[in-house]
Amino acid sequence: MAAPFDFSDFVGVPWLDRGRDLRGCDCWGLHRLVRQCGTGVILPSHDDDYAGPADRAAIQDLIDGGRGCWEPVRDGGEPFDLVLLHDRPWHVGTLVRPGLMLHVPEGRTSVIETISTGRYRRRIEGIYRLRGCA
């Protein structure tokens, strides 16, 4: 039996605009990296599809264009589901287990934080499961 995936191995990754590896990640890059390491699924990089975190129109277009690949989750979610938050204007995290997400806030290092209470609870737009478009 394989050992369970250890999300804590990804705590402390520094934020890096359009980063896609352990040297640094933005929020999408961290979700992409964790999903690839934990499930083998490789999501699109999108690192050339926006100019940076202030390119809100391009980021909104990526979110809108990708919605067809993601199914809303109503049951609290499971590991590797995507947590979408309204946060300047958007931010994503990776569900570790219901109520906890791994994410990398801009300018900080990656952390596992609660989403069921506190500052993120009101910002959650939804939890989504990949439907196989990767």
Q: Which residues of 32-52 are buried (b: 16+ CB within 10 A; e: fewer)?
A: bbbbeebeeeebeebeeebee
How does pLDDT run across 7-19, given as a tens digit for each residue?
999 999 999 998 9
The residue among 133 and 34 whose pLDDT is bigger is: 34
DSSP string, 22-64: TTEE-HHHHHHHHHHHHH-------TTS-SSTT-HHHHHHHHH
Fold of 7-130: endopeptidase fold (from Nostoc punctiforme) (3.90.1720)
How does pLDDT run across 45-101, given as a tens digit for each residue?
776 666 566 555 555 565 665 556 788 898 889 999 999 888 667 889 999 999 999
pLDDT band at 40 (very low <50, low <70, confident <90, very high): very high
How does pLDDT run across 86-128, given as a tens digit for each residue?
866 788 999 999 999 999 999 999 999 999 888 888 889 889 9
pLDDT band at 5 (very low <50, low <70, confident <90, very high): very high
pTM over 0.75: yes
Supply 32's token pair: 């992409």
pLDDT at 131: 82
Is 1's pLDDT higher than 90? Answer: no
pLDDT at 43: 85
Q: Determine the residue type at 121.
A: R
Supply the DSSP symbol for 99. Answer: T
